[in-house]
Amino acid sequence: MARATRDARLETRTARLKLSRGRRYQTTLTGLMALCYRRTKAGFGTWYARLTDPQGKERVTKLGAADDHAEADGIAVLTYAQAQEKCRALAKETHATKGAPLTVAEAAERYLAWYKEHRRAYQETDHTVQAHVIPTFGERLVSDLRTVEIKAWLNRLATQPARIRTVAGKKQRHRDKPSTPDQKRARKSTANRVLTVLKAILNRAFEDELVSEDTAWRRVRPFENTDEPLTRFLTEAEAKRLINVCLPDFRRLVKAALFTGARYSELARMTAFNFNADSESVYIEPSKSGRGRHVPLNAQGLAFFKHCAAGKTGQDLLFIKADSAAWGKNHHVRSLQDACKAAKITPAIGFHELRHTYASLLAQAGADLLTISKLLGHADTRITSRHYAHLCDRTLSNAVRTLLPGFGHESDSRITAIR
């Protein structure tokens, strides 16, 4: 028996008798199935099942009377838990007899529709689906997928060359085949991310009871030890050099990233409303993680944001280009490449490394992982720990400084290397 979904309004007859008559109350069991309750004007309650088929057509079916005034018999009169079970059984029977077999392409379409409403980074996820999932599995029935073929697909992703952005209508271009250990690690890491998207699509179909089995993809494990071992970040001196060579409009974006740890997309849509001088903080609206966060500012950061917000109100963008246009996707790429070249930062960094710099400098100054995690908006500290734990761990460095002997070596600042 499936575990009952909780709903304090409907679980007990006492709670139900407090509900308005003539109004329908509903508790969602899955994305395609809901249990409904309605009391007549005479005060008698009835359970209904609201089911949606894979094509989006909705159907409401009466399940039986509620045990508001009579003892439940599990057939004509139902408790809340019994009504749920009957609803689930009806959904399973309906999908088995009337629901069309679900293809991976159809499952992906349903997942992306849900993702667009509930998550960020929709375009990136849609691109991953269209580039890597649909060409291989699009026409396959979800129920026919096998573990061995998903594993083979994952291995191909890990060994094939990375795709290069290509003009629409032209033949897809690729980088050279991965040959170095780091290149192979990077391809495995990318393959793992694509596998995560495929599993999310299939798991949602399983949770919505459109397929009865999830074993095929549950057995497929991602590659191990694929996380990048070293996080690239700037020193304080490098950050200052980079700021000094940037053009004025881009310089403001770079400073904002270093003061807040915000992503490029978060800064590009930040408005005057998001800056609060009284609380000395900025509010970064929900982005990749799906949740917003308040980021406090130091004295210099506060002065900087006051300057950027001067004369702006409400939905005015805090950061705009020199021509007064908004910063759009990838508009920053060339500016950052030119700035890195002028500042002699080799290898050149991406904008995301400014976020790493913010976190890394805090870690080296003694901030703990939980604090950094909250400032960056990470869902939990595992992601933060992966990148910054070695910088936060003062125990190791203190042990070496205080416990390791000097072996008779005396430092002498007067000694210089012979050129």
- C-alpha distance from residue 154 to each of 91, 95, 132, 215, 227 (Å): 33, 30, 10, 16, 17
**CA dihedral over 358, 360, 362, 368, signed as positive or negative:** positive
Above 50 in pLDDT, residue 191? yes
pLDDT, tens digit, 9 for 90 and up, residues 83-99: 999 988 887 766 544 44
Quote the mean pLDDT of the chain.
Answer: 86
The burial of 416, by beta-carbon neighbours within 10 Å (0-12 exposed, 13-18 middle, 19 or more buried), is given as: exposed
Q: Which of 370, 193, 339 is nearest to 257 (CA)?
A: 339
Q: Which of 300, 293, 185, 291 is nearest to 240 (CA)?
A: 300
Q: Taking the complete model, does pTM exceed 0.85, yes or no?
A: no
Q: Which of 28, 39, 31 is nearest to 84 (CA)?
A: 28
CA gap 285, 377 in Å, rounded: 10
Contact 386, 227 (CB under 8 A): yes
Q: Return the higher-pLDDT residue of 399 and 133.
A: 133
Question: Would you state the pLDDT for residue 98?
Answer: 47
**What is the SS3 assignment for 321?**
coil
Above 70 in pLDDT, residue 288? no
Read off the amino acid at residue 176.
Answer: D
Pairing of strands 33-39, 281-284: unpaired
Q: Return the higher-pLDDT residue of 203 and 178.
A: 203
Count CB-CB contacts under 10 A for residue 47. 25
Pairing of strands 163-164, 275-276: unpaired
DSSP one-letter code for 25 = E
Least confident segment among 173-177, 223-227, 382-386: 382-386
Question: Would you state the pLDDT for residue 79?
Answer: 93
Q: Which domains does the chain have, with CATH numbers?
A: 13-97 (3.30.160), 104-218 (no CATH), 236-400 (1.10.443.10)
CA gap 53, 94 in Å, rounded: 8
Above 90 in pLDDT, residue 345? yes
Q: Return the higher-pLDDT residue of 33 and 260.
A: 260
Cβ neighbors of 34 (< 8 A, separation 6 or more) are 26, 27, 28, 49, 50, 87
Query: pLDDT over 70 for what percent of the chain?
Result: 90
Q: Which long-range contacts (CB under 8 A, 24 or more apart) does 331-339 make?
A: 332/250, 332/253, 332/264, 335/246, 335/247, 335/250, 336/250, 336/254, 339/242, 339/245, 339/246, 339/250, 339/254
Q: Which of 189, 271, 232 is nearest to 357 (CA)?
A: 232
Q: Return the higher-pLDDT residue of 253 and 232.
A: 253
Above 80 in pLDDT, residue 23? yes
Question: Would you state the pLDDT for residue 395?
Answer: 62
Cβ neighbors of 249 (< 8 A, separation 6 or more) are 319, 320, 321, 322
Cβ neighbors of 113 (< 8 A, separation 6 or more) are none
pLDDT, tens digit, 9 for 90 and up, residues 49-82: 988 776 667 888 999 999 998 899 989 999 999 9
